[in-house]
Amino acid sequence: MLERFGGWHEPVPAVIRATEEAKILRNDIYDREPLKRWGDGRVTLLGDAAHPMTTPNLGQGACQVIEDAAELAECLRGGAGVVRALRLYEDRRRRRTAEIARRSRLLGRVSQLESPLLCAVRNAAVRVMPLRLQMRQLEAVLANER
């Protein structure tokens, strides 16, 4: 951990030094393209199983699970029967979650660039990007219009 994060700003190295080695967990995280088909019959998926956003780039994985759950509940309340409600839920959620998952992956790629030149270009672009433009990017994620 110190090899990788020892050069970070304080208190990151101090926290690592103060933590017992046995208490440091390593859990790999995996990612993949969102699924095109989430369910069949009385089975469906929600959350990371349907649209993984496990690499924490946009901070939207758990948020999208909450939206999935709310939409699923609404579709089931509609009284059209379970199978139709599940397909309706999938139709309503597939596009938005796939778009957010794609944005999240793109952000991950950009934030994990390794070339010093590309990092410098990225950092300069972020520094000069007007706040209004940054907020506009976020609005598309925060506004749930289907």
Q: Give residues in contact with ligand FAD (CB under 6 A).
A: 29, 47-49, 53-54, 56, 59-63, 65
> Closest separation between CB of residue 79 and ligand FAD, Å?
26
> Closest separation between CB of residue 60 and ligand FAD, Å?
5
Q: Which is nearer to ligand FAD, 65 or 85 (CB)?
A: 65
In order of 11, 81, 87, the CA distances from 42 in angstroms are: 50, 10, 9
- Residues 63 and 51: beta-carbon distance below 8 Å: no
Q: Which is nearer to ligand FAD, 13 or 47 (CB)?
A: 47
> Closest separation between CB of residue 108 and ligand FAD, Å?
12
CA–CA gap between residue 97 and residue 92 (Å, rounded)? 10
Q: Which is nearer to ligand FAD, 32 or 84 (CB)?
A: 32
> Closest separation between CB of residue 45 and ligand FAD, Å?
9
Q: Which is nearer to ligand FAD, 28 or 132 (CB)?
A: 28
**The dihedral sign for the CA sequence 137, 138, 139, 142:** positive
- Residues 84 and 42: beta-carbon distance below 8 Å: no
**Angle ∠(119,97,83) on CA atoms, nearest 5:** 160
